[in-house]
Amino acid sequence: MELIVYSTAGKDTGKKVQVSDSIANAEPNDHAIYLDVKQYMANRRQGTHKSKERSEMSGSTKKLGKQKGGGGARRGDINSPLLHGGARVFGPRPRDYNFKLNKKVKKLARLSALAYKFKENNVTVVEDFSFEAPKTKKMIELLKNLNLSEKKSLIVLAESNNFVFLSSRNLPQIKVVRVSDLNTYEILNAKNLLFVESSAKKLDEIFAPAE
């Protein structure tokens, strides 16, 4: 697939970037996407939730009533889960939600997410650019020229660029990543992918499936 390279002014530069059909026309695997997004969200969880159980609560341990003949459950002490204000049964405890996912599955998931964006024509390529200093106004102008100012976009760079990152930091709908750091969740979470020319050329190198 050939992608038109636009200038920062939003004009066609006459250049094109070739992206392998094995990426642009790949058959998406929805289950791989589900697993990768599930792992990404699980890894973001702190897992610090905790509620007190019966042995951890303060309160008298005096038996409230006789064992039998009361006509109800055996409540025991005042911390019984049967009573209002009592302990919680099997409450949440701190835990780690991380789980393992094979590298091949993760790569397939990212490839599938990219394929969806190509199929939906939500991929734009702009010539390599940089800013002399962090300027949010310049980033807004760039997005406006490319008709992306109203869209949630993911800007994909070939290498880290601190000025570009800082220029987009105050824009809630924009996120900047390196092409090597792309993940399935961020690809799908963005409405449009904005590649710079050098990062688009790296797609085949990073994401093309092995022969």
Are residues 179 and 77 located together in one domain of the fold? Answer: no
Residues 117-156 have pLDDT tens digits of 999 999 999 999 988 899 999 999 999 999 998 889 999 9
Q: Return the pLDDT at 96.
A: 95
Segment 102-110 shows an average pLDDT of: 94
Do 78 and 102 belong together in one domain?
Answer: no
Residues 197 and 149 in one domain: yes
Banded model confidence at residue 207, pLDDT cuts 50, 70, 90: confident
What domain range includes position 20? Answer: 2-45+98-207
Residue 209, pLDDT > 70, answer no
Three-state SS annotation for the chain: CEEEEECCCCCEEEEEEECCHHHHCCCCCHHHHHHHHHHHHHHCCCCCCCCCCHHHCCCCCCCCCCCCCCCCCCCCCCCCCCCCCCCCCCCCCCCCCCCCCCHHHHHHHHHHHHHHHHHCCCEEEECCCCCCCCCHHHHHHHHHHCCCCCCCEEEEECCCCHHHHHHHCCCCCEEEEEHHHCCHHHHHHCCEEEEEHHHHCCHHHHHCCCC
Q: Could you tell me what percent of the chain has a pLDDT over 70?
A: 98
Given 63, 91, 119, which residue is the final one in a domain? 91
The domain tally of the chain equals 2
- State the CATH number of the domain containing residue 140: 3.40.1370.10
pTM of the model: 0.81
Same domain, 55 and 24: no
